Amino acid sequence: MHEYNTLPPNLKEVSNTYFLSQIANNTILREENRQPLDWRSKPKGVSSLRMLHFYDNTGIAIAEVRQQESNKYYLYKFGCDHEYREIFRIGLTKHYECSLCHHEQIIDSSD
Ligand SMILES: [Zn+2]
């Protein structure tokens, strides 16, 4: 099975508010469209998933159901549920690492 036909890891439905907060606070690295075949509980009428990837290997996705009256949308997130812990700091710069996927993040608290 091609990646194009698989669901992204850890796909979970989210609220409108969560979805919008992710768009407001993240830089979108790339966009991708998939037609997953391994969808166990696919919403009725959904065939494809539009994904927005963020820099930290997570992202959000939209599934659209086209209807005559108004289209219906299902909102998701995917990727790691990061659990960051501080690994070291230099001055006001703190280095964090996710204990699950080892993604690193640097936060400068000087401003
Ligand atoms: Zn992580």
Task: Please give the model's pTM, rounded to 2 decimal places.
Answer: 0.84
Dist. CA 6 → ligand 1 center (Å)? 20
Q: Per-residue pLDDT for 96 more than 90?
A: yes
23-65 pLDDT per residue, tens: 999 999 999 999 999 888 888 889 899 999 999 999 999 999 9
Gap between the Cα atoms of 84 and 97, Å rounded: 5
Q: Per-residue pLDDT for 103 more than 70?
A: yes
Region 83-103: mean pLDDT is 94
Q: Per-residue pLDDT for 1 more than 80?
A: no
User: Which pLDDT score, from 0 to 100, does residue 33 have?
Assistant: 96
Gap between the Cα atoms of 100 and 48, Å rounded: 28
HEC per residue, 43-111: CCCCCCEEEEEECCCCEEEEEEECCCCCCEEEEEEECCCCCEEEEEEECCEEEEEECCCCCEEEEECCC
Dist. CA 109 → ligand 1 center (Å)? 21
Dist. CA 104 → ligand 1 center (Å)? 9
3-32 pLDDT per residue, tens: 889 999 999 999 999 999 999 999 999 999
What are 107's two structure tokens? 């936060």
